[in-house]
Structure 1
Amino acid sequence: MNKPVLEFNKVIFHYKNSEAPILDGIDLQIYENEFISIIGPSGSGKSTIFRLITGLEVPFKGSILLNGENVTNRLGAVGYMPQQDLLMPWRTVLDNAILPLEIKGIKKEIAQAKVRELLDDFGLQGQENALPGNLSGGMRQRVSFLRTILSGSNILLLDEPFSALDAITRLTMQEWLIEQWMKRKKTILFITHDVDEALFLSDRIFVLQQKPHTFIQEVKIPLGRPRTIRDVSKSEMVTLKEKLIDQLRSKVSK
């Protein structure tokens, strides 16, 4: 087993305007180079977990470790890709991509050179001078992911990044994301409402139960790598999918 890069130790959290805990003594370990998906009904706390990891919220009790260290100020310590790409419409692909490097104080010419080296890998060669409004949804998400990679963190948080894409583009982006993840050896946490997407992408799935969360169910995916989308149609995967959907439905109906 690889070393843990993200750990929750007895984390308790509630929002300031409520004393009802969302997380109540949660322990989690996420390992180097893992791909973890988080699924659960709307309002179950998926985004809250991301806000805690990024440092936008802090635990009421417990600790969150990044790469073995108890990092109290986590702002900027992990890469984050939101559901909306948040590209600046007046900036070109190149100038949108260099933003995290600019924030670090890297000179524009050096930052641009670094991004140019990656354009081909990200399917953006020849688009460096295009404005976001002239890009397809898939290409905009590639720029957003490139920007996330350039954060320099070994931990990347992806919050439903493909939810607005059509089915074919979404599948293409899933396959491309797996290629990039395997090539760059990052740890990815991925929020999704799509069980098929979680099954195809993940090593493990975290299933959020009813709040307050005293534990988080973990489901290990019985597929090796490399894998194809057809592997999700195997009998054991269909059975697992049905079980997960039944669980999610039961949480919504309560």
Structure 2
Amino acid sequence: MYKPALQFQNVSFAYEKEKLPILQNFHFHINEGEFVSIIGHSGSGKSTLFKLITGLEQPADGIIFLHNQQKSHRLGQVGYMPQQDLLLPWRTIVENAALPLEIKGVHKQKAHSQVLALLDEFGLKGVENSFPSALSGGMRQRVSFLRTILSGSQILLLDEPFSALDAITRLTMQEWLLAQWQKRKETILFITHDVNEALFLSDRIFIFTETPTSKLEEFEVPLKRPRVLKDLNMPAVIELKDHLVDVLRARVKV
């Protein structure tokens, strides 16, 4: 039986200077352990949705539930990984990864021990005393994801985390992320502009198709798990990809 990890019920939201609301009587839910992607054109509301989930913004109306509990104060309740890794250049890799633990009051030595125990699993063994400037883009994103994991949340929001990487590194990081998710089974909500990326990673894909939005258009990915990149060549996946691209193009104003 599926248990909801995140629910929006009748949520409405508008920025003060905007005439139209972004969300209006909006309904949305994600189940525990799901990997869900959201795609949509720029300005459609994807980042607004993340701000509401994290608690950086509050709805004008409606209720947001985390694990079936109404949460009006959500700051620190979910893990967030932004597009940029935001690693502090003056802190080593261990010190950067340990930051969420230190913020929670974990003693520095204990926090570092927890990080060191995970470095090999995250492909960071041997660079623990390096500074971010010495790492590749892919390795920096591994540190960022480790830091997100150590936030302690079972709901992780990933906002286009691989968009700045080159094509090959991006594919490698997608495979790596799937392996980590399948091992840990956190609930992941992933924002991307890349339809192939959404198809490869996700159980379900949601699209913002209108503003204001009351409900996202939903598509189930016709792939079993575990999966490999070559599975994207399956006829059913290609057909869904073409449809998703058509839906997105119909909403883009040139």
* TM-score, scaled to structure 2: 0.99
**Cα offset, 1:210, TM superposition:** 1.6
Match of 1:14?
A: 14
Could you tell me which amino acid in structure 2 is paired with residue 184 of structure 1? R
RMSD: 0.8
Q: Please give the secondary structure, in 1, of the residue aligned with 2:27.
A: strand
Q: Which runs of 4+ in 1 moved over 2 A?
A: none
**Cα offset, 1:19, TM superposition:** 3.9
Could you tell me which amino acid in structure 2 is paired with residue 76 of structure 1? G
Deviations along 1:127-179, one digit per CA (max 9) or x if unpaired, are 10010000000000000000000000000000000000011100000000001
Q: Distance in 2 between matches of 1:165 and 1:18?
A: 33
Q: Please give the secondary structure, in 2, of the residue aligned with 1:181.
A: helix
Percent of residue pairs identical: 62
Q: Distance in 2 between matches of 1:92 and 1:191?
A: 28
Number of residue pairs aligned between Structure 1 and Structure 2: 254
Match of 1:75?
A: 75
Q: Distance in 1 between matches of 2:138 and 2:62?
A: 39
Matched ranges for 1:84-103 at <5 A: 84-103=84-103
After the TM superposition, which of the residue ranges 121-130 and 10-19 deviates more from structure 2?
10-19
**Cα offset, 1:17, TM superposition:** 1.7
Q: Distance in 2 between matches of 1:2 and 1:186?
A: 14
Q: Please give the secondary structure, in 2, of the residue aligned with 1:109.
A: helix
Match of 1:188?
A: 188
Match of 2:36?
A: 36
Could you tell me which amino acid in structure 2 is paired with residue 128 of structure 1? E
Q: Distance in 1 between matches of 2:247 and 2:19?
A: 27
Match of 1:124?
A: 124
Q: Please give the secondary structure, in 2, of the residue aligned with 1:118.
A: coil
Match of 2:110?
A: 110
**Cα offset, 1:20, TM superposition:** 1.1
**Cα offset, 1:18, TM superposition:** 2.3
**Cα offset, 1:226, TM superposition:** 0.2
Could you tell me which amino acid in structure 1 is paired with residue 105 of structure 2? G
Deviations along 1:198-247, one digit per CA (max 9) or x if unpaired, are 00000000110120112111100111100001111111111110110011
Q: Distance in 2 between matches of 1:64 and 1:120?
A: 37
Q: Distance in 1 between matches of 2:175 and 2:115?
A: 22
Matched ranges for 1:180-219 at <5 A: 180-219=180-219
Q: Distance in 2 between matches of 1:19 and 1:162?
A: 33
Q: Please give the secondary structure, in 2, of the residue aligned with 1:57.
A: coil
